Amino acid sequence: MAEASGPNTYTLQVVKEHNKSDDLWIVIDGKVYDVTKFRHEHPGGEDALDEVAGRDATTEFNDVGHSQEAKEMLKKYYIGDLAGGSVIAKASVSTPPPPTEQATTPPPPTETPATDATINDGEKVVPPQKQCCILA
């Protein structure tokens, strides 16, 4: 008795080769679908599928908010799995978050230390912060 083989497995490179209106594959959640025959029936129009032809369309599929019925229809076009799983899932796991900008606060102004006295035209003058009393 022969063992049942698992589903076909396709690399993303192979999927990318099927990116034309008469040969249109997409990936959704790590599964590969040949939606060539569905293209003319797609309620969102042919262009919606043309835009994601030959690539992972998981984000676009989920963003539209397809119904459960639409998700069930996908099963009819399933041809295999993406080698290594979902491209989107991998990207979110392996891509580090973008760097955050840290607010930089300028250092406090540095004050020049006051000297005990300054010379002004040969006359000794005590700076105001060092005066102990005001002479009138």
For the segment 8-20, what is each residue's pLDDT rounded down to a tens digit? 999 999 999 999 9
pLDDT band with cut points at 50, 70 and 90 for residue 85 = confident
Amino acid at 66: H
pLDDT band with cut points at 50, 70 and 90 for residue 93 = very low
For the ranges 76-80, 95-99, 132-136, the one whose mean pLDDT is highest = 76-80
Q: Are 32 and 81 in contact (CB under 8 A)?
A: yes
pLDDT tens-digit map of 101-123: 665 666 666 655 555 554 555 55
What's the pLDDT at 127? 55
65 or 35: which leads in pLDDT: 35
Burial 64-94 (b: 16+ CB within 10 A, else e): eebeeeeeebbeebeebbbeeebbbeeeeee
